[in-house]
Structure 1
Amino acid sequence: MTYKILCSDLDGTLLTTKSDVSNFTISQIERVKERMQIILVSARMPKAMHYIQQDLGVLHEPIICYNGALILHGDKELKSTVIPALCIENIHKIAEQHNIKLGLYYKDEWYAEIDSERIQKEKVHTKVEPVFKNTTETILDWKLRKIGAHKIMLMGTKNTADIAYKKLEESFSEEINIYRSNDTLIEVSPKSVSKLSAIIYLIKDKYTLDDIISFGDNYNDIDMLQNTGCGVAVGNAREEAKRISNYVTLKNTEDGVAHYVKENLFN
């Protein structure tokens, strides 16, 4: 099958290190990008994706940010879905009960309450600087501006994240998608969106899902991997993602996506 679109997750998938694509990956995308669209699909904010687009030479393509909550094509906003301020307030109450800190994201805005090792890691990996501000103040500001969150990150310990995850599911499962990034991190996005829903929105009547090959590693990639024409999990992917994928390639640190592209696309 000749695929017309390649959709790839970034962290743990296309990125060989925590923040960059390798020269080998760049060379393989360069080889195929004139014959297919390359669409980056991530939980990241736009600013943390544009430099990767630039490295790959695909700045002219759309990007799917925040697990599908924000779709952009250059400077043009194609679709935006946010978590409303009232829901953010309720999530904040649960977080406060367990000394969990929030990261709040809207477009290219990133707000955090205090600096931490986790914040420093994200700064390095995404090349983006947060604004340090009290969460209550951020929510009040967003209410006045009539905006909400494209993504919320809850940062705690394994124990507090376990408790918070259960409470979020019990209270807000109808309003938000809840992803466990790792033992200490929970990502929250609007219920009505996913990476798959954003892909469907982008292709509309022009292509079908069978025209797409996708790459991923985590829980938030499963719908995309399972429903596109070919889903490829990297070797470091969650077992759940591997099970539903058509193929498993090498780990991200071994250029798994690039190796699959080299061996299987347009040879």
Structure 2
Amino acid sequence: MKTLYISDLDGTLLNSNAELSSYTIETINSLIEKGMDFTIATARTAATVTHILAPLNLSVPVILMNGVIQYNIQQKEYLNTFYLSRETAEIILNTAKQCDLTGFLYRIKDNCLETYYEKLTNNGMTEYYTERTVKFNKVFTQVENLLTAAGDHSIYYALLDKYEALLPAYEVYRNLPGVATAFYQDNYSKEGMWFLEVFSLHGTKYNAAMSLRQSLGYDRVVCFGDNLNDLPMFKASDTACAVGNAKEEVKTAADHVIKCNTEDGVARWLLENFEKDNKCTPCL
């Protein structure tokens, strides 16, 4: 039985420093050498993922930005990108302004990801911006009005603020035709910040997992997650595993609750179960 293993990154595969532990790297690479098909599904972009995943010998396309795009790390190529229409992007941005919010607008044009912002209005946005520019050399372009950047190549709008501040916009976005949302707490924020991300209805972790299953001919999908944006991926999987530090809603939806991300839970579960799951039944 051909199985694909898909893991979320932050709060799941990565430790509390947003890094892969040496144990996880060694274990996953060892299992890949033995034939395991492994990839990740994350809200992150290629700019950060390429750096984080460099130690892993991945060959399966990775799922980025909650499923809006698939990305071939070896060829540095964006695959199956789902765009927002110009009209939809304008509604999303205008709704944010009406709620006194602003965020980061992402576009892909000519196989290049572009990120725009107007201003950094809270500590969460500043930390998000600083980590990506300093640690990963990611480029952000500041503009006076995001509407000027929202052309035909917009794919994603990410807001980062307190739950109460984001809730009015979320109530609008969740009922907006043609879009999907991911609304979940930031794993690293000490101030209880939340992400609200808006993207094409076709670009979800569910659809991306199903796409990889069908296009690459997998019989079975096993996934790992910790946060609310992983629940769509759970629905696309035959077996869903929640790490011990996962949200209660995620644990409830999972088939198994495994060790925490800080205990290399994903790698330890794979080491224990991969060969057992993929043993050939002897002919009688």
Normalising by structure 2, report the TM-score: 0.82
Structure 2 counterpart of 1:153: 158
Q: Secondary structure at the match of 2:157?
A: strand
Counterpart residue type for residue 213 of structure 1: V
Tell me the distance in 2 between the aligned counterparts of 1:228 and 1:168. Answer: 26
Q: Which aligned segments of 4 or more residues in structure 1 are displaced greater than 3 angstroms?
A: none
> Which of the pair is proportionally richer in helix?
1
Structure 2 counterpart of 1:48: 48
Residues 129, 118 of structure 1: alpha-carbon distance in 2 compared, 3 angstrom cutoff: farther
Q: Secondary structure at the match of 1:188?
A: strand
Aligned-pair identity (%): 26
Name which of 126, 131, 141 aligns with 1:124.
Answer: 131
Tell me the distance in 2 between the aligned counterparts of 1:70 and 1:98. Answer: 28
Which whole-Å deviations, capped at 9, do the CAs of 1:80-126 have from their partners, x for residues lacking one? 10122222221222211222111112243222222352234224267
Contact 1:194–1:220 (8 Å) recurs in 2? no
Which whole-Å deviations, capped at 9, do the CAs of 1:215-258 have from their partners, x for residues lacking one? 11122211322331221111111222211211011111222112
Tell me the distance in 2 between the aligned counterparts of 1:189 and 1:83. Answer: 7
Tell me the distance in 1 between the aligned counterparts of 2:238 and 2:174. Answer: 31
Q: Secondary structure at the match of 1:80?
A: coil
Which whole-Å deviations, capped at 9, do the CAs of 1:154-187 have from their partners, x for residues lacking one? 23333221222112224x1x22111212253211
Q: Secondary structure at the match of 1:204?
A: helix
For this pair of structures, how many residues does the alignment match? Answer: 258
Tell me the distance in 2 between the aligned counterparts of 1:56 and 1:92. Answer: 37
Contact 1:22–1:255 (8 Å) recurs in 2? yes
Distance apart, 1:3 and its partner CA: 5.7
Q: Which runs of 5+ in 2 are unaligned?
A: 186-192, 277-284
Structure 2 counterpart of 1:252: 261
Q: Secondary structure at the match of 1:101?
A: coil
Normalising by structure 1, report the TM-score: 0.87
What is the Cα-based RMSD across aligned positions, in Å?
2.2
- Please list, as runs of the form range in 1=range in 2, the aligned pairs for 1:1-267 lying within 5 A after superposition: 4-34=3-33, 35-58=35-58, 60-73=59-72, 74-107=75-108, 108-115=113-120, 116-122=122-128, 123-124=130-131, 127-134=136-143, 136=145, 138-143=146-151, 146-149=152-155, 151-170=156-175, 172=176, 174-182=177-185, 184-204=194-214, 206-208=216-218, 210-266=219-275
Q: Secondary structure at the match of 2:165?
A: helix
